[in-house]
Amino acid sequence: MINRHYSIFVFIIFLAACEKPVTYTIEGEESQHILFQDLEIIALPYKIDKIVPLETTGNNFLSDNLKVKFTPDFIFVFDEEIRDAVHQFDHSGRYLGEIISTGEGPGQVNRIYDFTVSEKGVELLVGKGSYSEAVVVAIADRNIIETVQLDVIGFSFEKNNGHYYVYSSYNYPLAEYRLSKIDLEGNTIEGFLKNDYSGKMVPMIERNLYGMDENVFLVESFNNRIYELTSEKLTCKYILDFGNYNFPSDLLDRDMMVTFEQLNADGFFSIRHHFENKAISLTGIQFQKESSSQSYHLIMYQHSNKPIKNKLEEGWGDIFKHPVAITGSDKIVFSAHPLNLIRNAAFFDGNQVVKSALKKLENQDNPVLIYSNLEFNAKTNTQ
C-alpha cells in the first residue's frame, strides 16, 4: 500500500475558486464550480493568534503531519506518518500519554489507519489484513471497550449521526464502493462512488474524510470534486476546475504507471484536504511537476461569494501547510514544526504570541499548534 506522503507522485491539494463561483446542476445536484486558474493570487502569511506547543518527551516524537481531534478537555493527536499511537494532551499542550498504541501485546491494536472521537471514547479504524475493525477505547481508563468487524477494508473514516463512513480507495477487490455507510454493528447499509476500477493500482493510504460538527466532507485522489455527507446522502458541493491541468476523464482506464509519468512531467493539481463549518472553509491544493511543488489555500467565507486564493511561499508557507481543525470560534488550527516557526520569526515581528512561544521552543521539539482567524499579516499583495 502507498502512503502518499512518501510516494514519488505526491498527490496533494489545497482548495481553489473563481472570482464569482457558478452554481449549476450535475446529475441532479447543485454544485459550486470554481475556476482555480482565474483567481487572483495572494501570497501572505496569516496572523497568529495562539500557539500551543505539544510537550516533547522521550517517547512521543511527532512529525508535523498530524490528525488532531479536540474535546472540551483534551487534544488527541495521531501522527499520519508514524502511525504508531494516538496521543493525549491537555489544552495547554501538556502530554498525558498514549491512549492506545500499535503492537501485539494486550490492549494494543494491529495497525491504526485513522481515528475519531465520540461520546464513547476514542474510536480507531484498524487494519486486520483481510478486513478492518472499528475499535473503541475509553478515555478514562484507556481500555478497549468495543471491537466491531467491518464489511469492508478501509483507510479513512469518520463517525456521524450514529454511523461509520469508511473510505476504501479505488481497488474493486477491497470494496464494491469507494465509500461505505456502515452501522455500529459493522454492516454496510449503503455504498457511494461505485468502485469500477479493476486495474493494478496499490491503494492510496491518505486522509479522505474530514468531520466537522454535523458535517463530513470527502476528498480523494484523481478527483477534482469535494463531497459533503449528510445523514441522508452524498452530494458534490464543489467542483474545482484546474483548466488544462484537470485529470483526464478516462484516467482510470489507462496504464497507470505510464499515466503517472506523464502527469508528473506535465504537472497536475490535486486536492489534499477540506475543512469547513457554517462560517468558513479552507481547502488545500498542491501543484506538482517533476521534483517541484507549490501549495495553495482556498478560503471561502460563507457570507461572501468571493473565494480567496493564497499561495504559500517558501519559508513562512511551511508554517501553514498542515491545517488540522476548525475551532468553535472559527479559528483554523495548523500543526507546524518549531524549526519552521523559528526560521521565519521575522514575518511576525511585534506579535507577542510568537515572541513568547519562541522563548520556550527548541529546534527538535514536537510540533506546535497554531491558531489563526486567517487574517493576513500584511496589507499588500504579491503576484
pLDDT on residue 196: 74
Given phi > 0 = left and psi -120 to 50 = alpha, else beta, which region is 267? left
pLDDT digits (tens, 9 = 90+) for 135-191: 999 999 999 999 999 989 999 999 998 999 999 988 767 788 999 999 999 999 999
Distances from the Cα of 307 to the Cα of 14, 39, 224, 243, 362, angstroms: 13, 8, 17, 17, 37
Cβ 156 vs Cβ 167: under 8 Å: yes
| Residue keyed to cell 498542515 | 322
- One DSSP character per residue, 146-166 reads EEEE-SS--SEEEEETTEEEE
pLDDT digits (tens, 9 = 90+) for 3-54: 544 333 333 333 333 344 444 334 446 799 999 999 999 999 999 999 999 9
Q: Residue 338: which H helix or E strand, with range?
A: helix 338-343
State the pTM of this model.
0.89
* Radius of gyration from C-alpha coordinates of the chain: 20
Given phi > 0 = left and psi -120 to 50 = alpha, else beta, which region is 169? left
Distances from the Cα of 228 to the Cα of 30, 33, 211, 236, angstroms: 12, 15, 10, 6
DSSP, res 348: G
Grid cell, residue 279, equals: 462560517
pLDDT on residue 117: 96
pLDDT on residue 382: 41
* 3-state SS assignment for residue 357: helix
Cα–Cα distance, 113 to 39 (Å, whole number)? 35
pLDDT on residue 362: 94
* 3-state SS assignment for residue 50: strand
| Nearest residue to 318 via CA among 299, 298, 342 | 342
Cα–Cα distance, 29 to 158 (Å, whole number)? 23
For the chain, give the number of residues.
Answer: 383
pLDDT on residue 172: 67
pLDDT on residue 221: 86
Cβ 112 vs Cβ 86: under 8 Å: yes
> ∠ CA(266), CA(270), CA(271), 5° rounding?
170
The full set of domains in the chain, from first to last, is: 2-372 (2.120.10.30)
For the chain, which residues score pLDDT lower than 70?
A: 1-29, 172, 198-203, 379-383
